[in-house]
């Protein structure tokens, strides 16, 4: 149960980061608070959107789904069921791979690091580190 709580909490943090980046991308927020990072460069690059949809939106949707599954898995009737653990493992693994791709773009193509993206990558990595072993264990 503690693990699912941690995943839900992390997913909420990730959701907020992705929402912030998405709000910037669609013009609701005028400027990113990025310190000395290159958030705007990364966000306004051609890699800031995938299939015409801002990358940040995939994050918003992904974290929202992970959060929902974790919360559902915390309900007393679902605590002993397998599907939440399996679902979280699959979702977080996919999220981690996507994060890996985006970080690779930042490091090797754009040569610019967006701090918020790094924050999201760390959150997704920790979620995957918690969810994947549990998913394998309950299989």
Nearest distance in Å: CB 82, another protein: 21
Retrieve residue 31's tokens. Answer: 């400027």
Nearest distance in Å: CB 96, another protein: 22
Residues of this chain that bind another protein (CB under 8 A): 5, 8-9, 12-13, 16, 19-20, 23-33, 40-41, 44, 74
Of 9 and 118, which CB lies nearer to another protein in the complex structure? 9
Nearest distance in Å: CB 139, another protein: 26
- Taking the C-alpha atoms of 89, 93, 95 and 99 in order, what is their torsion angle to the nearest 10 degrees? 150
Q: What is the enclosing helix (H) or strand (E) of 130?
A: helix 115-137
Of 32 and 89, which CB lies nearer to another protein in the complex structure? 32
Nearest distance in Å: CB 127, another protein: 15
Of 61 and 74, which CB lies nearer to another protein in the complex structure? 74
């Amino acid at each position: 149960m503690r693990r699912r709580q941690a995943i839900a909490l992390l997913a909420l943090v990730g959701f907020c980061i992705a929402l912030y980046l998405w709000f910037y991308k669609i013009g609701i927020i005028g400027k990113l608070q990025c310190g000395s990072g290159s958030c705007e460069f990364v966000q306004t690059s051609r890699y800031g959107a995938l299939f015409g949809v801002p990358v940040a939106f995939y994050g918003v949707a992904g974290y929202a789904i992970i959060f929902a599954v974790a919360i559902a898995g915390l309900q007393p009737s679902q605590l002993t069921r397998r599907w939440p653990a399996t679902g979280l493992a699959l979702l977080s693994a996919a999220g981690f791979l996507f994060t890996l791709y985006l970080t690779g773009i930042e490091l090797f193509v754009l040569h610019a690091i967006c701090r918020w993206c790094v924050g999201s990558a760390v959150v997704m990595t920790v979620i995957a580190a918690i969810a994947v072993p549990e998913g394998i264990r309950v299989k």
